Structure 1
Amino acid sequence: MSGDRSAPSITAIILTYNEHLHIGRCIERLKDWCQQIIVVDSFSNDGTQDIARSLGAQVHERRFVNQAEQFQWALDMLPIATDWVLRVDADEYFEPALVAEIRERLPQLDAETSGVTFRRKMIFRGRWIRWGTYYPVFLLRLFRTGAARVEQRWMDEHIQLNHGTACLFGGGDFVDENLQTIGAWTDKHNRYATRHMVDFVGRKYQFVPTEPMPTNRRARTKRWLRERVFGGAPLYLRSLLYFLYRYVARFGFLDGRLGFVWHFLHGFWFFMLIDAKIDEAEQQIARHGRESFPQWLADRYGFTDLLPGSGG
């Protein structure tokens, strides 16, 4: 795609699978300030690719393993002809104030600054989720071409700078607003829970490599809390305690009726589901040995990437 050539020298990369509800909004809001938009699609069957092409995006097809592996492949293999790369999900968009700040400040950054961090705003069924640790969340999403890589994790991956430092653009937020039904949301998070299980059990039994802690202070603190504090607590009990921490101690109840739905589903149900899947996998390993885990994962969940010779 050739966007506005007066725009900052940015390539936006979007990973998709059946995102027809979101991809048009996403590209429409990017094309005026990104010179290149690339969609890496995992064989959608709902018209996602057609919508993306009709709006001028480059579309590449590739089998999906996980977000980290897919995005790193895009960085390594696709022709990126701009100075900067933007990671954006199909259900995200940038507020006008943040776009204006990017246009103004990006060309002025010194050579030592190789990444830009933004604030994420979560919108759930039209409700801005402001409490329960969910705002602000700071994420590094914009970086100089060649200056970053993605942690190779099955979930909760971060972009890591190879060199230089990151600065914050805080004049506005980037917004995560998914338009799917609750049924689609729970289906997606069911898949996410499986990937969290693969990441947790895979690292414990050395089926997947252990990445070093993130260099970003906020990301490092979050990872430490998740792996050492939450990860060291008893299964199931930790999900309840985490929900109470978010909803009571961190004032999630101030988000109102829809906020309760969000914090209960995301802060309790989702983490309880992760624990149940970890427990299921641990029982399989206890009965049949650690070597049985990759084949069990392939048979029960369709994930073949940990099988010997799979390249996963």
Structure 2
Amino acid sequence: MTTITAIILTFNEEQHIERCINSLKESVTEIIIVDSYSTDRTIEIAQNLGVKTFQNPWKNYATQFNWALDNCGIKSEWVWRIDADEYYELNTTIDLKKTLTNLENDITGVYIKRKIVFMGKPLLHGGWFPVWHLKIWKHKRGFCENRWMDEHIKLVEGDTTKLDIVQVDENLNDLTWWTEKHNSYATREMVDLLDTKYCIFSENSVDPNFFGTGEQRKRYLKLAYLKFPLFVRPFIYFSYRYFFKLGFLDGKSGFVWHVLQGFWYRFLVDAKIYELQKIYKNDDQAIINYIKKTYKID
């Protein structure tokens, strides 16, 4: 039977980590946590549940995850990327290890469904479900692309398949935490968009292709999004998700989600870009130098 190692990156995740670990225990061979020096009980909880724990200073998600792939002594055939505030929605009709064992030899990556639960409600409209993500792949056959936001797994060889299982993203923190976190995300998204525009440090990125994989389509649409004017594109994005993709069918929780994630967050990203452009008077090289210096990108 095949072996699977689940990799979880953590920082102060005592509220979520037990749920995540317990959802995986029956389906994987090993669980590894790479922690960014949490100050709560994250490590204690994980170790009490028999999970291997490592600690490494945080730079960004891609760097941390690739460090985990290279430095945690992974011996399993497959690895599974899952966040601490996510969990595996157990499908009793699918034996994951047996299913992976029976795959053709040229299959090195597996797409699974991602479901977002926000304010206690699954978001089943607005284009949010089902969304297929490459979450499971053969060890040494893939890595996390080096980006500051919107990082995807890129395979170095082989083909992919889809498996009808669900990874649920349900963060239990309140809206104050959510908005503070997304303010931080907006800075990372600003860096990522400017990097996409100026090619500051991107390498080994997913190739944009509207008719390709989910990651390739998303990257293609992101490049198209960049072509729209600042402050106009958040309105377009919100309208597309909420009206055209029927996001309004998810009720009040869905409305809050689409206003905050689909409009406010993206408007904030544009505002941060606009702020930089004003400070440096639209001098592209000055903006590039600022990004390199501030975020220590070689």
Runs of 4+ in 1 over 6 A off after TM superposition: none
Quote the Cα distance in structure 2 between the aligned partners of 1:214 and 1:159.
14
Q: 1:125 aligns with which of 100, 119, 122?
A: 119
1:146 and 2:140 aligned: yes
**1:220 paired residue number:** 216
Determine if the alignment matches structure 1 residue 12 to structure 2 residue 3.
no
Residues 133 and 194 of structure 1: CA distance in aligned 2, closer, same or farther (over 3 Å): same
Match of 2:274 in 1: 279
Q: What does residue range 25-174 of structure 1 map to in structure 2 within 5 Å?
A: 25-97=19-91, 100-170=94-164, 172-174=165-167
1:288 offset after TM fit, Å? 7.0
Larger CA deviation: 100-109 vs 159-168: 100-109
The 2-side partners of 1:289 and 1:218 are apart by 31
Q: Do 2:80 and 2:135's aligned partners in 1 also have CA atoms closer than 8 Å?
A: yes
Taking the aligned partners of 2:181 and 2:112, their CA distance within structure 1 comes to 24
Output aligned runs, 1:294-305, within 5 Å.
294-295=289-290, 303-305=294-296
Deviations 1:4-54 (A, max 9, x none): xxx851111001111111111111111222211111111111111111111
52 and 232 in structure 1: CA distance in 2 versus 1, 3 angstrom threshold: same
Separation (CA, whole Å) in 1 of partners of 2:173 and 2:242: 24
What is the aligned partner in structure 2 of residue 267 from structure 1?
262
Is the 2:154–2:206 Cα contact (8 Å) retained in structure 1? no
Distance 1:264 1:190 in 2: 15
The answer (yes or no) to whether the contact 2:4–2:97 under 8 Å persists in 1 is no
Unaligned runs of 5+ in 2: none
* Cα shift at 1:117: 0.5
Equivalent-residue separation in structure 2 for 1:201 and 1:129 (angstroms): 30
Q: How far did 1:100 drift? A: 3.0
Q: How does 1:176-255 map to 2 (within 5 A)?
A: 176-210=169-203, 211-213=205-207, 216-227=212-223, 229-255=224-250
The number of aligned residues is 295
Q: Distance in 1 between matches of 2:227 and 2:47?
A: 46
Q: For residue 175 of structure 1, give the secondary structure of its aligned residue in structure 2.
A: strand
CA contact (8 A) 1:158 1:214 kept: no
Identity fraction in percent: 40
Cα deviation, residue 283, structure 1: 2.2
The two structures, once aligned, show a CA RMSD in angstroms of 2.0
Q: Output the CA distance in 2 between the equivalents of 1:288 and 1:173.
A: 45
- Whether the 8 Å CA contact 2:126–2:241 is kept in 1: the answer is yes
CA contact (8 A) 1:205 1:290 kept: no
Whether the aligned pair in 2 keeps the contact of 1:98 and 1:174 (CA below 8 Å) is no
Superimposed CA distance per residue, residues 48-98 of structure 1 (whole angstroms, 9 cap, x where no aligned partner): 111111111111111111111111111122200111100000011111117
Query: What residue ranges of structure 1 are gaps of 5+ in the alignment?
Result: 1-6, 307-311
Pair 1:27–1:240, CA change in 2 (3 A) = same
What letter matches 2:220 in structure 1? W
Normalising by structure 2, report the TM-score.
Answer: 0.92
Q: Return closer, same or farther for 1:240/1:110 CA change in 2, 3 Å cut-off.
A: same
Per-residue deviation at 1:305? 2.0
**Do the aligned partners of 1:41 and 1:60 also contact (CA within 8 Å) in 2?**
yes
Note the alpha carbon deviations across 1:83-122, whole angstroms, 9 max, x for none. 1100000011111117834133111112111111101111
Query: Quick check: 2:116–2:170 contact (8 Å CA) kept in 1?
Result: yes
Aligned-pair CA distance for 1:217: 2.2
Q: Is the 8 A contact 1:160 1:214 kept in 2?
A: no
